Each structure stands twice: as C-alpha cells, then as structure tokens.
Amino acid sequence: MGLSLEKVSYVYEQGTAMETAALKDVSLEIPDNQFIGLIGHTGSGKSTLVQLLNGLLRPSSGSVLYNGKDIHADGFDKKALRANVGLVFQYPEHQLFEVDVLSDVMYGPRNLGLDEAVCKKRAVQALENVGISEKYFKTSPFDLSGGQKRRAAIAGVLAMNPKVLILDEPTAGLDPKGRDEILGLISEMKKKLSMTIILVSHSMDDVARYVERIVVMGHGEKVFDDSPKNVFRHYTELEELGLSAPQITYIMNTLRESGLDVETDALTVEEAAEEIMRSISKSSR
C-alpha cells in the first residue's frame, strides 16, 4: 500500500514571530516499488516532507499514513516505521563513527535487537549491494574515499532491509564521476532490490535518466506530479521556481524554434540523437 500524505501542512516556530509555513496542504501517494524524484529549490519544503514521511517530524495538520495507518496514532510502532522507511541524509558519511566499516553497517540492525549473526549477514549483503568489497570490511570508515564513504553510509540504511529508501541529495559535494557512480548505484539497487526509492534533488539532470515519476515542490506546495516527460514540458514554469530542466530539453526546444521538426521531450542524449536523425531523415524524403 505504501506511504501517503493527506492534506499535510507543517509550520516551523508555530505561534511565534518566526512562524514559517514549510508545507501547505500537501497530499501525495507513494505506492510500493516506484522510483520517484522529489525536486525543489532550497526552501521548497522537500526536506521537511521526507522527514515527515520517516516520522521524524509530526505534521501541524493532516495525516501521514504507512500501509493505511496513521504513523502518529497511539500504539503505532515508530521503530518499525524507521526500519521500513530508511532515510539517508545529505552528506551521510558525516554519521560514520564505528571502528570499521562492517561494524558501522551493523549498527542499524543491532539497534533493532537482531541476533549478531543476522546483523552481520545483513551488513555483508548491504555492502555487496553498494559495491564495497570484503577487503574494506575491517577498514576504518574514515580511511575510505569520499565515494566509498557515501556508499558505506547508504549500506548502513540498506542493512535495515527498508521497503522505502529516501535519499536526500545523495550526490551533494561529489564530482561528476562520483555523482554518476552514486546515481548508477541507486538505479541498480532499485532493479535488484525491488523497493520504493525517493530521490531528493534540486537537479533535473540528476533524475532525468532514472526516475519514473517526478514530484516538484515550490514554496511548500506540490506544483507538479507526473512523468518526467510531462513535467519537463513545463520548463518555463520550473525556471520560475528556481529550477532548470535538463540541458537536453533546452537543446531540443532550441532546435524546434530554429525550424527542425523534432519532438522536445527527449530525456537522454541517446533519445535526442534518435529524434534528430528521425527528423532529418523525414525532411530529406
């Protein structure tokens, strides 16, 4: 059944002179096994939204439901929720703290009270899923490269066996190669583990190639919720929100304005090349 928000609002410093509405009457359905991009400029409300999904924040009004049950109702198991809805914060490597990589990844399962053998099995599987080989298991996490630290931190959440994985700006601070590696890893995890993934970003280019649905936040409200192709058709409205469409979108629109009869909804270089060749071939007949 998944997660859902029903008319959720959230106000920081409510009742004070600093009162700020971070979310305004947001409703959202997040079904099982979907890859969603959550997009918005700084201050759009996207980080507040994901903390509400994980139960770290309680809505000022409205309801957050997991599998049809209000997560703030009396008797609801918040510990189980956070095992099922894993949240990887921005710069998660800053939360690494154990003596070695394996121990760090085992921390979450241990906190659930699982048997030590089960904790180790989960940690080893999670590290394998993020591409960290056994030779690093007994290495201090602080001796890993930046990209490896990011992978180890993601593995720490994966070891909880979540049904939903929320990644808040997982490519922040990485160089282009590191960004592509992390996004490729996330895409492979989605295929292999059949989980819901919510990828939080302010970069359309980061999500264009991977997600099947994009939710765009602006000024605390849900502005768009559709397929990538349909969302990017509104690139002028996205610019008004402080966002930009993928570079391919601008290129294809420029070509069309210049007289080339192309469709403008290509998401990748490969799709754009195919569409350009189709148009040229059509015009030469």
Q: Do residues 156 and 108 touch, judged by C-beta distance below 8 A?
A: yes
3-state secondary structure of 170: coil
The range of the structural domain enclosing residue 174 comes to 3-230
Cβ-based neighbour number of residue 221 at 10 Å: 15
**211 & 271 share domain:** no
Alpha-carbon gap, residue 208 to 244, rounded angstroms: 12
Confidence of residue 245 (pLDDT cuts 50, 70, 90): confident
Instruction: Name the 3-class secondary structure at 284.
Output: coil
Same domain, 215 and 259: no
Residue 216 has pLDDT above 70, yes or no: yes
Q: Is 260 helix (H, G, I), strand (E, B) or coil?
A: coil
Task: Say yes or no: 182 and 102 in one domain.
Answer: yes
Q: Are 2 and 179 within 8 A, CB to CB?
A: no
- Residue 232: CB atoms within 10 A of its CB come to 24
| Reported pTM | 0.89
257 and 156 in one domain? no
| Same-domain status, 126 and 152 | yes
Any idea what the CATH number is for the domain that residue 152 is in? Answer: 3.40.50.300
pLDDT tens-digit readout, 46-57: 999 999 999 999
Residue 237 domain flag: no
127 and 42 together in one domain: yes
* Secondary structure of residue 234 in the 3-state scheme: coil
Give the model confidence (pLDDT) of 154-203 as tens digits: 999 999 999 999 998 888 888 888 888 888 888 888 888 889 999 998 77
Residue 61 has pLDDT above 90, yes or no: yes
Contact 154, 123 (CB under 8 A): no
Instruction: Determine, yes or no, domain membership for 269.
Output: yes
Residue 162 lies in a domain: yes
Residues 53 and 183 reside in one and the same domain? yes
9 with 71, same domain: the answer is yes
Number of domains in the chain: 2
